[in-house]
């Protein structure tokens, strides 16, 4: 009995340590999910075919979904140090990637934050001239 | 064969055998071994548990069993030597010579056993050293994977997390201000799980088996701990080499004792011999002078 315990206990400890460190087999790609939702939100923002009220409703729903998805990405330990182009690009610009959080932090509309990050402001739009390229 | 004659013949051959055979004993066909693996699992173990795991693995090996066997054999041989020494003190004449011869033979076997044990211990220490070196190398490879781009990415991720934590309350207030909109399922479950995870994390931090290894009173990193273990193992190898020198000196002393015994027995035989002494020409002069 004692012998069984002697063998089983270290094995159990090893198993526990391995379970803590082993990556889960079903890997949910939080970053890809967030990027997909963000792309849909931007598409809704730029869609000229829909009415302003409908856009407002859609953006509100997308904002709430994106809020959770952004938090999932920010809390995802599996992304720490994962040196892929997508992850590098995502963390290179917090304001552009985590649009909902950055907008709420600055008390600005989503569209304003996004356009500001792309370098488009009211002044630059007003100064723009229509012409043929 | 008379004991004295036996000692005269065997004495020098024993000395020769000791001098020649001590450095390399006959190797068994399948030497006992210990084959630890420097696995990823071993690297991920807590520092304190790493040493225990290696020691436990060694204790289960054939090499450990062989060292224990050698230890018990040496203990028994030591008792035999003690008994023989006492017997020599009490004996005299031919019996004492025979016992001295036995004493030398037993000493030789004792030295052979000591050498065998030293070889086994050397194998253990060398295997441990190689395993620790491999562990250190693997640990270094993991650290080496931190390229400048990766370091920059990790720094950006830390900044993002810090900014997120700093603005969490403000963002919640701004986005979830409307009472008509309920908190999302993710937010609710995350908060509940977070409380449970924090309670568990606190229990893990307080657990005695999770205490961090310390070096000179300071918390030691895993690499520091392995390096310390490696240094201890190398010190063990150095001490073992010194012990082998001592065994060598023992062997030399036994060889000299065997020669002395052989010589003393030969002297005694020559004294008792009936062979006529050869005389010089001066002693024969009386036959020629009238």
Residues of B in contact with A100 (CB under 8 A): 171, 175
| DSSP string across chain B | --HHHHHHHHHHHHHHHHHHHSSSPPPPSS---------HHHHHS-HHHHHHHHHHHHHTSHHHHHHHHHHHHHHHHHHHHHHHHHHHHH--HHHHHHHHHHHHHHHHHHHHHHHHHHHHHHHHHHHHHHHHHHHHHHHHHHHHT--HHHHHHHHHHHHHHHHHHHHHHHHHHHHS--TTSPPPHHHHHHHHHHHHHHHHHHHHHH-GGGPPPEETTEEPPHHHHHHHHHHHHHHHHHHHHHHHHHHHHHHHHHHHHHHHHHHHHHHHHHHH--PPPPPPGGGGHHHH--
Q: Above 80 in pLDDT, residue B16?
A: no
pLDDT of residue A130: 82
Q: Above 90 in pLDDT, residue A8?
A: no
| pLDDT greater at residue B266 or residue B143 | B266
pLDDT of residue B20: 46
**Percent of chain A scoring above 90 in pLDDT:** 55
Query: pLDDT tens, A93-106?
Result: 999 999 999 999 99
Residue of B nearest to A18 (CA): B41
The reply to whether residue A68 touches residue B56, judged by beta carbons under 8 angstroms, is no
Residues of B in contact with A17 (CB under 8 A): 41, 44-46, 49
Residues of A in contact with B164 (CB under 8 A): 71, 74, 98, 101
Residue of A nearest to B187 (CA): A68
| DSSP string across A88-120 | HHHHH-HHHHSHHHHHHHHT--HHHHHHHHTT-
Q: Which of B42, B156, B190, B200 to mutate to test the interface with A (most CBs of A within 10 A)?
A: B156
The reply to whether residue B44 touches residue A18, judged by beta carbons under 8 angstroms, is yes
pLDDT of residue B205: 82
Residues of A in contact with B150 (CB under 8 A): 81, 83
Residue of B nearest to A72 (CA): B186
Cα angle: B12, vertex B16, B19; to 5 degrees: 140
pLDDT of residue A24: 42
Residues of B in contact with A82 (CB under 8 A): 153
User: Mean pLDDT over all residues of chain B?
Assistant: 82
Residues of A in contact with B52 (CB under 8 A): 10
**Percent of chain B scoring above 70 in pLDDT:** 80
Q: Spell out the residues 6+ positions from residue B112 whose beta carbon is closer than 8 angstroms to its own.
A: B21, B22, B25
Query: pLDDT tens, B42-98?
Result: 877 777 788 888 899 999 999 999 999 999 999 999 999 999 999 998 988 888 889
Contact (Cβ atoms closer than 8 angstroms) between residue B262 and residue B11: yes
The reply to whether residue B167 touches residue A105, judged by beta carbons under 8 angstroms, is yes
The mean per-residue pLDDT over the stretch B208-213 comes to: 69
Top-ranked range on mean pLDDT: pick from A38-47, B91-100, B271-280: A38-47
Of B160, B181, B184, the CB nearest to A91: B160
From A31-40, B148-157, B161-170, B201-210, the region with the lowest mean pLDDT: B201-210
The mean per-residue pLDDT over the stretch B139-144 comes to: 71
ipTM: 0.77
Task: Give B160 to chain A, closest Cα distance, Å.
Answer: 7
The mean per-residue pLDDT over the stretch B249-276 comes to: 82
The reply to whether residue A81 touches residue B150, judged by beta carbons under 8 angstroms, is yes
Indicate the Cα dihedral angle A67, A70, A76, A78, nearest 10°: 150
**Residue A66: strand, helix, or coil:** helix
Q: Which of A9, A12, A14 to mutate to test the interface with B (most CBs of B within 10 A)?
A: A14
The reply to whether residue A21 touches residue B44, judged by beta carbons under 8 angstroms, is yes
Query: pLDDT tens, B184-199?
Result: 888 888 888 988 988 9
The mean per-residue pLDDT over the stretch B157-174 comes to: 91
Residue of B nearest to A22 (CA): B41
pLDDT of residue B214: 64
Contact (Cβ atoms closer than 8 angstroms) between residue B225 and residue B136: no
pLDDT of residue B23: 45
């Amino acid at each position: 009995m004692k012998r069984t315990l002697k063998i089983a206990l270290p094995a159990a400890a090893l198993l526990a340590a391995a379970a803590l460190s082993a990556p889960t087999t079903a890997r949910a790609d939080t970053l890809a999910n967030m990027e997909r939702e963000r792309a849909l939100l931007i598409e809704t923002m730029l869609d000229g075919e829909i009415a302003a009220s409908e856009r407002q409703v859609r953006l509100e729903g997308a904002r709430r979904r994106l809020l959770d998805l952004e938090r999932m990405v920010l809390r995802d330990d599996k992304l720490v140090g994962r040196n892929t182009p997508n992850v590098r690009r995502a963390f290179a610009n917090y304001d552009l990637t985590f649009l909902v959080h950055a907008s709420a932090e600055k008390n600005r509309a989503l569209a304003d934050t996004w356009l500001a990050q792309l370098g488009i402001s009211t002044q630059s739009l007003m100064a723009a001239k229509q012409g043929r390229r | 064969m008379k004991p004295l004659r036996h000692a005269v013949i065997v004495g020098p051959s024993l000395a020769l055998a000791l001098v020649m055979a001590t450095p390399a004993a006959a190797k068994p066909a399948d030497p006992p071994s210990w084959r630890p693996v420097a696995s990823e699992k071993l690297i991920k173990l807590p520092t304190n548990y790493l040493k225990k795991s290696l020691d436990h693995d060694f204790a289960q090996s054939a090499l450990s069993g062989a060292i224990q066997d050698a230890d018990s054999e040496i203990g028994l041989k030591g008792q035999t030597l003690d008994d023989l020494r006492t017997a020599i003190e009490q004996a005299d004449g031919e019996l004492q010579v025979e016992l001295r011869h036995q004493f030398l033979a037993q000493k030789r076997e004792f030295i052979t056993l000591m050498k065998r044990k030293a070889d086994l211990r050397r194998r253990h220490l060398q295997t441990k050293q190689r395993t620790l070196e491999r562990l250190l190398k693997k640990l270094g490879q993991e650290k080496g994977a931190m390229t400048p781009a990766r370091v920059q990415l990790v720094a950006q991720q830390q900044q993002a997390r810090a900014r997120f934590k700093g603005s969490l309350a403000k963002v919640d207030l701004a986005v979830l201000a409307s009472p008509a909109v309920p908190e999302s399922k993710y937010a609710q479950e995350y908060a509940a799980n977070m409380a449970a995870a924090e309670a568990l994390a606190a229990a893990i931090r307080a657990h005695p088996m999770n205490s961090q290894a310390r070096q000179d009173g300071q918390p030691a990193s895993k690499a520091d701990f392995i390096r310390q273990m490696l240094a201890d193992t190398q010190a063990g190898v150095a001490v073992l080499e010194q012990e082998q020198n001592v065994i060598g000196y023992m062997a030399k002393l036994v060889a000299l004792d065997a020669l002395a015994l052989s010589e003393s027995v030969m002297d005694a035989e020559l004294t008792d011999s009936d062979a006529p002494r050869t005389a010089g020409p001066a002693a024969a002069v009386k036959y020629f002078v009238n």
